Structure 1
């Protein structure tokens, strides 16, 4: 009986170790530029480039709306710790009250007017220790939803509320 119990525990331990090893292969970090690009392409067009300072940036389009994803907290373009999703609209005289309303009603994205007077929609995602590929797909889905709602309100001539 003890031998059977020992074998059963050994098999269980092997299964646990094997499943955690498989799960770790599914972890994506902000340094996995190509994997992030692959996920982005599942939501529309996307290209990966590098700034003059060596910072990776993904530029894409979801349902007709342009956006960018900056890889931030990087050391020489690698070891990145976060992703910053950005949408930019050249809209002047946008109501700060409407932006504040958007920010109080939305949990993940925030809107603001930058120093050039452009309307910005931003979503920051901390990824130093990574997340599963499925979770990152959910992040892109959330970004797509935010872009769609924000863009729809702008195109209808109404301000976000």
Structure 2
């Protein structure tokens, strides 16, 4: 009798966990990441970067950006992603202006490429998995920061 009561209590305690459980998302499956990007209303074109790792090309508010996959083994089983966009500016950007943005904002960073064009990037560690809600929030933050940067450079 005691064992049945104990099992009933354990079942009642654990029941909410099963109802709220959400499958974890990681960077090992580019198709799942692409589907989440599309679910948020953005296009997601799957491709391969220069070293053979997967990547996704997308856009928000008329600006293209890429999602690169890192920590991959032979183009598979990746561990994390990086959101990235480069802005081709006629006169480039000063290092001081890039550093000022980096001081003001969390999450994303700006550096200058060989033509002094700004590159905005944001890394996301997906190793071990995150909830779909967490990834969608990360994508939302990326779009917010990208828009903030566009306003910052008056592009």
Question: Where on the TM-score scale, by shorter chain, does this alignment land: which range?
Answer: 0.7 to 0.9
Paired residue total: 153
Q: Which residues of 2 match residues 102-121 of structure 1 at below 5 A?
A: 102-121=101-120
Corresponding position: 1:38 with 2:35? yes
Deviation, 1:70, is 0.3
Q: Which residues of 2 match residues 1-161 of structure 1 at below 5 A?
A: 2=2, 5-12=5-12, 15=15, 19=18, 23=21, 26-41=23-38, 42-51=40-49, 53-91=51-89, 92-155=91-154
Deviation, 1:52, is 5.5
Where does the alignment leave 5 or more consecutive residues of structure 2 unmatched?
none
Which aligned segments of 4 or more residues in structure 1 are displaced greater than 3 angstroms? 1-5
TM-score, length of structure 1 as denominator length: 0.83
Q: Which 10-residue stretch deviates more, 67-76 or 46-55?
A: 46-55
CA contact (8 A) 1:43 1:62 kept: no
Equivalent-residue separation in structure 1 for 2:37 and 2:7 (angstroms): 45
Query: Cα RMSD (Å) of the superposition?
Result: 2.3
TM-score, length of structure 2 as denominator length: 0.86
